[in-house]
Structure 1
Amino acid sequence: MSIKVIEINDSNIRVGDETGIVFQSPGFALVTEDKLEVGEFAERQSRIQPTNSFSKYWYELNLEPISHGPKVRHHADLAYAQLMHLAEAADIDQDVIFSVPGNFSQDQLAILLGLARQTNFSPIGFVNSALADSIQATHKKLSLHIDIQLHQVVITTITINEAYFKVKNVVQIPGVGIQNFMNLMMQVATDLFIDQCRFNPQHDAISEQDLYNLLLSWLSNHEEGRTVQFELESRDTVHLAKLPWENLTAVLDRYYRKINEQISALTVGVEAQLILSECLSRLPGFLRTIPSDLHYEVATVHQGARACIDHRNLIAPKDGEIKLVEKLAKSELGIVELVSKTELQQSQLASHLLFCNEAIKLRRVVIGSRLGKPEARESSQEINLAMKGLPEHLGTIDKTDSGIYFNCTSNHAILNNRSVSKGIHLLQLGDHIRFAESCDEIRLIKVRNG
């Protein structure tokens, strides 16, 4: 019988199966006199009806009474409503594995299990979501899985010893969640409209919600390095405001510093790799702030669910007793060595990028297009295309133990003569990348003894 996986992350609760992610729903609830709505609809009404909106019921999942009419007694009621919404929207009526964040306490896990048992589906296992995400990643002795929720970032340390692949500890960084970034960008955008248009989008709830929805859409589909242009309509007047990319990232940088300071504290004096959630990696300019001596991989949105399905027998106990899985035996996972590439495979990886007849050693190379001349800079690990009409930041190419990855941040890239979309693309020796028909190509090469 097929199973489904529900990944509990309130920035977007996902339902996955063998085919991929089949449904997702942000952790928002809207409670009015006549109905209770959850998910995307509730989020897109949260600024219009702030006193009726909730977004911390997963973050603070508990049974403590709240005063909001007879429909809602506590946060658990809202979580239950969202589980029922997921069951209906994703047609869940079979066995379910829950992938849960490491910050969930035993009491919260017990509440979640109790709620799930009141639905039409059958919970059969709990697994730490960072552990599930990391199974398919490079196997180092120490990995930091970094995920972002609505109200915090969670860093989970994953270790491998002689016998187990396991969670070592969990660190929470409050105040740097998706909602914190949204609130910050809301204020930046509001100041822009006031300064450039003499229009305050937060002067009433409807225009404030319009601005929030605009930023939400932009955040999921932005192009790195390009000047941000916001357009809002109010009372038959269209207001336009522009924000240079550098100004935006400078504002967001204070939150990025808070995240990177914690990463640095956890990796001082040790060799570690970072496993970033795709949502975190998509924050404007975030990847460029990661210290260059740290290797990272980006976990795809379906990576954790796929691992849960592949290893269901290790997560769902045969005796029916559900416990949170925070370690798995290496032998059962098929992990033999602490790296995922053999020496032969490593020898077949490219060592340099060739651009404009110059070779640059491949570690993490930033690709951009700014004023000046086309060049490859070994010292700063940068390639400048210097072409008009392209975003200032076009992506990064990273060499990791699991392979070479191109993190494409625009829709301008042409890989091996085929256009590719934004996202993570695996590269191999001999591949070539361009960003316009007349642009010089970037080619992956291997330099002997290089």
Structure 2
Amino acid sequence: MTLAVLDINDCNLQLWAGSQHAQGAGYALFSKGDYQFGNDARARARLEPRSTNTRYWWQLNTEPLQPALGPARHSADLVHAHLQALHSDAGRPEQVVLAVPGSLQRDQLALLLGIVQACPFNATGLVNRSVAAASMLVTSERAFHLELQLHQATITELSADGDTITAPRTQPLPGCGMLQLQERLVELIAAAFIRQTRFDPRRKADTEQALYDVLPKVLAQLRSTGETIVEVSGNRASISRSALTEAGSRLFTSAAEAIGANAAHEQILLDPIVALLPGIDGHFANNRVLAEDSVNQAVQQHRSVIEQSTDELVLTGTLPCEGMTIRPNVEALADPVPPARREGKVPTHLLVGQSAYALGGRNHPLAMEATQETSGDWVLSTDASGHTTLNDDPYAGENLVVGDTLVSEGTTALLIEVLS
């Protein structure tokens, strides 16, 4: 029999129960005398901000809610009600395995288990969600899981010895949560609307909500195409991926600092929502994107280790690395294969804004240098690797041609040919 699995991440809580799949973000809305949770609540968050709470999973406790939200006394009441709603949407499974983030404090974990005891299902397992997801993918002795939550991000270090995998530490990254990232992305997109159409979607709550609603689709399109059209209330603006890379700069920098000196080459596991952020590939070249159901699949695979029959659940923090060969992370040490030469005109200048800078010069505002090879081609210095993107992909030593777009630490440049 297939296990029911609840993957707890407040950006998108997911409950799998056989063929049933319920999901929704950690939003609670109290309106017209009733609660709504998940995506229904998120769809009205900008319209009824004073009636919305997004902190109850992050600040899980029994302190009085400030401000109050309906009859709920504290965040634990909201978590209880949200769990009941998810359980109902997933067909009311009798037994559920809980996959929890490593950032959950011990007292919060104890409170969560107490809340579950008051729910119409039994918890039959408890597992670290980072360890579960990594058990299916990690191929190096050390790796990291970058997880995005509503009010913070976390970096979880993963250690594998060839037989098992565990998580020695989880470090919160304050100020880098999904809500902060959304705010900056919306600000950048709204600025593009103003420049191109003189329409500001933030001026009214309904058009601002519409922009937030379309944001996931916009990021998904930019991941595959590099440029897209965003439409809000009949107004259309062109948005490029490179125009939004600045939004995630604080997250990328904080994550790299938490990982350490070799961050550009460590194996990084990304939740799907993290992988949508423009510019992330330029910072973490050795990344793997987790599937939406990676935690569910891992729990099904390791149910004999995770499932428990005792009344007092114990957190499973170590899982087998079944079917995988663990190898040292030697990508950074291997001799790189020179990339094939790209065809195109040889550029002479970098165009940054309305100013052109000669290639090879040192007065340009980009945080990298270009050198000219004996063939006449221009390439970037090796220091640019992992920090600069070429046409929205991580720079990997290719020769530069006219029409290329470079982004280095948030500054964008177009490669051009200036005729004498």
Fold equivalence (TM over 0.5): yes
- Report what 2:154 is aligned to: 154
Query: Once the two structures are aligned, what percentage of the paired residues are identical?
Result: 25
CA distance, structure 1, for counterparts of residue 282 and residue 49 of structure 2: 35
Higher mean Cα deviation, 171-180 or 160-169?
Answer: 160-169
Q: Does 1:134 align with 2:134?
A: yes
1:299 aligns to 2:290 (yes or no) = yes
Deviation at 1:138, TM superposition (A): 2.9
Aligned equivalent of 1:253: 249
Within 2, Cα distance between the matches of 1:139 and 1:190?
41
* Residue 66 of structure 2 is aligned to residue 72 of structure 1: no
Q: Which moved more, 1:7-16 or 1:211-220?
A: 211-220
AA matched with 1:55: T
Match of 1:43 in 2: 42
Q: Where does residue 29 of structure 2 map in the other structure? A: 30
Question: Higher mean Cα deviation, 92-101 or 135-144?
Answer: 135-144
User: CA shift at 1:152, angstroms?
Assistant: 1.6
Mapped contact 1:18–1:306 kept (Cα < 8 A): no
1:338 is matched by which residue type in structure 2? Answer: I
- The code of the aligned residue for 1:100 comes to V
Instruction: Give the conservation status (yes or no) of the 8 Å contact 2:176–2:250.
Output: no
Q: Quote the RMSD (CA, aligned, Å).
A: 3.5
| Partner Cα distance (2:6, 2:398) in 1 | 40
Cα offset, 1:222, TM superposition: 3.4
Tell whether the 8 Å contact from 1:138 to 1:339 is kept in structure 2 after alignment: no
Alignment of 1:3-402 (within 5 A): 3-17=3-17, 22-66=21-65, 67-68=67-68, 70-161=70-161, 164-224=164-224, 226-233=226-233, 238-265=234-261, 267=262, 272-290=266-284, 292=285, 295-328=286-319, 330=320, 334=322, 338-339=326-327, 380-382=396-398
Closer, same or farther in 2 for the Cα pair 1:198/1:22, shift >3 Å? same
Letter in structure 2 aligned against 1:286: I
**Residues of 1 paired with 2:60 and 2:179: CA distance?**
17
Amino acid in structure 2 at the alignment position of 1:137 = L
1:183 Cα deviation after fit: 0.3
* Structure 2 unaligned blocks of 5 or more: 330-336, 344-384, 407-420
Distance of 2:193 and 2:316 partners within structure 1: 49
**In 2: Cα distance, 1:15 partner to 1:302 partner:** 10
Do the aligned partners of residues 162 and 199 (structure 1) sit closer, same or farther apart at CA in structure 2, a change above 3 Å counting? Answer: closer
SS of equivalent residue, structure 2 residue 292: coil
Q: Identify if the C-alpha distance between structure 1 residues 70 and 241 changes in structure 2 by more than 3 Å, giving closer, same or farther.
A: closer
Structure 1 residues 194 and 18: alpha-carbon distance in aligned structure 2, compared to 1, 3 A threshold: same
- 1:384 to 1:45, Cα distance in 2 relative to 1, 3 A: farther
Q: CA deviation at 1:34?
A: 1.2
> Matches of 2:301 and 2:256 in 1, distance apart?
32
Q: Encode CA deviations 1:296-317: one digit per residue, 9 max, x unaligned.
A: 3222121221111121121122
**Per the alignment, do residues 54 and 221 of structure 1 end up closer, same or farther by CA in structure 2, a change over 3 Å counting?**
farther
- TM-score, structure 2 as length reference: 0.74
Q: What CA distance in whole angstroms lies between the structure 2 residues aligned with 1:216 and 1:139?
A: 30
Q: Secondary structure at the match of 2:73?
A: coil
User: What's the secondary structure of 1:249's corresponding residue?
Assistant: helix
Is contact 2:17–2:90 with CA below 8 Å preserved after alignment?
A: no
Is the 1:224–1:285 contact (alpha carbons within 8 Å) kept by the matching residues of 2? Answer: no
Q: Which moved more, 1:10-19 or 1:91-100?
A: 10-19
Question: What does residue 403 of structure 1 align with?
Answer: none
More deviation, 70-79/193-202: 193-202
How many Å apart are 1:252 and its aligned residue? 3.5
- Once the two structures are superposed, residues 28-83 of structure 1 have per-residue CA deviations (whole angstroms, 9 ceiling, x without a partner) of 11112411000111101000000111111111111111142552111111111211
Q: Which amino acid aligns with 2:2?
A: S
CA distance in 2, matches of 1:11, 1:113: 20
Within 2, Cα distance between the matches of 1:336 and 1:232?
Answer: 47
Structure 2 SS opposite 1:380: coil
- Cα separation, 2, equivalents of 1:104 and 1:61: 9
User: How much does 1:242 deviate?
Assistant: 2.7
Question: Gapped runs of 5+ residues in structure 1?
Answer: 342-350, 358-362, 371-376, 394-450
1-structure distance, mates of 2:164, 2:69: 48
Report the residue type matching 2:99 in the other structure. Answer: S
> Would you say the 8 A contact 1:228–1:244 is kept in 2?
yes
CA deviation after TM superposition for structure 1 residue 229, in Å: 2.6
CA contact (8 A) 2:159 2:168 kept: yes
Is residue 144–residue 157 contact of structure 1 (8 Å, CA) maintained in 2? yes
**Structure 1 pair 282–70 and aligned structure 2 pair: CA distance change class (3 A):** closer
State whether residues 96 and 121 of structure 2, in contact with CA within 8 Å, keep that contact through their aligned partners in structure 1: yes
Looking at structure 2, the residues matched to 222 and 88 of structure 1 have their Cα atoms a distance apart, in angstroms, of 35
TM-superposed CA distance for 1:339, in Å, is 3.2
Preserved CA contact (<8 Å) 1:148 1:177: yes
- Report if aligned partners of 2:143, 2:159 keep a CA contact under 8 Å in 1: yes
CA distance in 2, matches of 1:251, 1:334: 38
Contact 1:7 1:100 in 2 (8 A): yes
- Equivalent residue number for residue 348 of structure 1: none
Could you list the per-position Cα deviations for residues 204-227 of structure 1 after superposition, in whole angstroms to 9, with x for gaps in the alignment?
222221222122432344344533
* Contact persistence 2:64–2:73 (CA under 8 A): yes
